[in-house]
Amino acid sequence: FVTVVSLINALVYEPDPIIWSERLFGAVIITSVLATFIAFLIMIWAQKILNPSETAIIFAIEPLAAALFAMVFAGELLGLWGWIGGSLICIAVAYGETGQT
């Protein structure tokens, strides 16, 4: 679904026309299948095994993990607000793990 909506937005708002090549088409298919469909299947499967608080903690850590992967594999850097937000996520997860919620 996300891939289709993103494609429609790109076709409407992108000033340069998209030149479809085999490589681009393959990247779109891989992204739509692996990053959305299979990821959601894994999340649904994991939710059956984990309790709700563990699932919530994993979902809360997801943006922080994405930022760390972007730093390690893509060389992206977090700004001040990124570090503040990541710290707040870590604090909230630690607080949630203490069972005082």
> 98 versus 51: which is more confidently predicted?
51
Mean pLDDT throughout 10-16? Answer: 83
Q: Which residue has the tokens 């850590």?
A: 61
Judge if 69 and 88 occupy the same domain.
yes
Judge if 73 and 91 occupy the same domain.
yes
Predicted confidence (pLDDT) at residue 13 exceeds the cutoff of 80: yes
Judge if 32 and 57 occupy the same domain.
no
9-13, 61-65, 69-73, 88-92 — which one is most confidently predicted on average?
69-73
Q: Determine the pLDDT at residue 73.
A: 92
Residue 36 to residue 4: CA distance in whole angstroms:
11
pTM of the model: 0.51
Structure confidence at residue 100 as a pLDDT band (50, 70, 90): low
Q: What is the domain extent for residue 27?
A: 1-49
Mean pLDDT throughout 15-22? Answer: 82
Judge if 39 and 58 occupy the same domain.
no
Q: What is the dihedral of CA 85, 86, 91, 95, to 10 degrees?
A: 100
- The token pair at 15 is 């000033």
Exposed/middle/buried for 51, CB within 10 Å: 0-12, 13-18, 19+? Answer: exposed
- The token pair at 69 is 């992967």
Judge if 14 and 58 occupy the same domain.
no
Tens-place pLDDT, residues 28-76? 888 888 878 888 898 889 889 988 878 877 877 787 788 888 899 999 8
Q: Determine the pLDDT at residue 101.
A: 53
Judge if 74 and 88 occupy the same domain.
yes
